[in-house]
């Protein structure tokens, strides 16, 4: 089933949306992230995408307390949680998985230490999401600050044979709310061996429907929902 997943991005104790992942370009900053997460659940979200942006920039998890409060609320409502940002070692990942997080998202760790992520994937099938963030056609890591030499499909091929999900984000369009590059998305979905979630630039119902047609598993949407460019209820009715 295709999913529309709201993003709950955490920075300095608030729920925020950034433009192109740049800490100084804050589009939205809201207090009480737990209340916001509960609101998405009450509006019909079946999965929440929670990212510790402070952890992404700092290389460690900073918002454990808020994350686990959201997880507790999600369990009461049978809502799936997936958490990323600052998960740079197996201990952090296993702590999250052991305390109720349904899936963890790893990007930098998946690039720097694939053996660790493969071991996690074996131990926790269908609970590991490898984040593939690309800029100019190449994978970027460490909060999108470092560019690698790998294309998204080359990076994905490292994990062939493992029971994981992929999350593809096109940094070139992320946070701009000007639409998506469907050709790039279609190429990735067609050329990897995993279910693919898509994020970045999604700003219309047509974007969502067109991504669904590529065969992607779902979309993660942040800025367009928080700025009311898109209404969550409209999306879930039309998919």
CA separation, residue 20 to residues 24, 27, 31, 175, 238 (Å):
10, 10, 21, 5, 27
Q: Output the pLDDT for position 165.
A: 98
Alpha-carbon 158 to chain mean position: 19
pLDDT surpassing 80 at residue 27: no
What would the pLDDT profile of 199-227 be if each residue is shown by its tens digit? Answer: 999 999 999 999 999 999 999 999 899 99
Residues 119-154: b if buried by 16+ CB within 10 A, e if exposed:
ebbeebeebbbbbbbbbeeebbbebbeebeebbbee
Alpha-carbon 228 to chain mean position: 20
What would the pLDDT profile of 69-127 be if each residue is shown by its tens digit? Answer: 999 999 999 999 999 999 999 999 999 999 999 999 999 999 999 999 999 999 999 99
Active site residue 234: no
Q: How many CB atoms lie within 10 A of CB 79?
A: 20
Range of the domain at 76: 3-238
pLDDT surpassing 80 at residue 24: no
Classified as helix, coil or strand, 77 is coil
Active-site position among 52, 102, 133, 207: 133
By DSSP bridging, strand 26-30 and strand 14-18 are antiparallel
CA angle (107 as vertex; 101, 108 as ends), nearest 5: 120
Active site residue 207: no
pLDDT surpassing 80 at residue 42: yes
CATH code for the domain in which residue 129 is found: 3.20.20.70
CA distance 130 to 19: 22
Active-site position among 9, 52, 102, 207: 9
Q: Output the pLDDT for position 142.
A: 82
- Count of domains forming the chain: 1
């Amino acid at each position: 089933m295709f999913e529309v997943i709201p993003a709950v991005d955490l920075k300095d104790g608030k729920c925020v949306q950034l433009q192109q992942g740049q800490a100084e370009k804050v589009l939205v900053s809201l207090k009480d992230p737990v209340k916001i997460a509960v609101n998405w659940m009450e509006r019909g979200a079946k999965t929440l995408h929670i990212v510790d942006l402070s952890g992404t920039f700092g290389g460690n998890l900073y918002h454990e307390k808020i994350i686990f409060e959201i997880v507790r609320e999600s369990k009461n409502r049978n809502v799936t949680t997936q958490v990323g940002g600052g998960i740079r070692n197996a201990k952090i990942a296993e702590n999250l998985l052991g305390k109720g997080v349904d899936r963890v998202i790893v990007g930098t760790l998946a690039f720097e230490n694939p053996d660790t992520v493969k071991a996690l994937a074996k131990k926790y099938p269908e609970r590991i999401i490898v984040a593939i963030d690309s800029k100019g056609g190449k994978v970027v890591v460490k909060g999108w600050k470092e560019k690698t030499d790998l294309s998204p499909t080359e990076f994905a091929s490292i994990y062939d044979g493992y029971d994981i999900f992929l999350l593809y984000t096109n940094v070139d369009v992320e946070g701009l709310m000007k639409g998506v590059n469907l050709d790039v998305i279609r190429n990735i979905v067609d050329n990897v061996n995993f279910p693919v979630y898509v994020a970045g630039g999604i700003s219309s119902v047509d974007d969502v429907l067109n991504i669904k047609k590529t065969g992607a598993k779902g979309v993660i949407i942040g800025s367009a929902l928080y700025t009311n460019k898109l209404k969550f209820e409209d999306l879930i009715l039309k998919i």
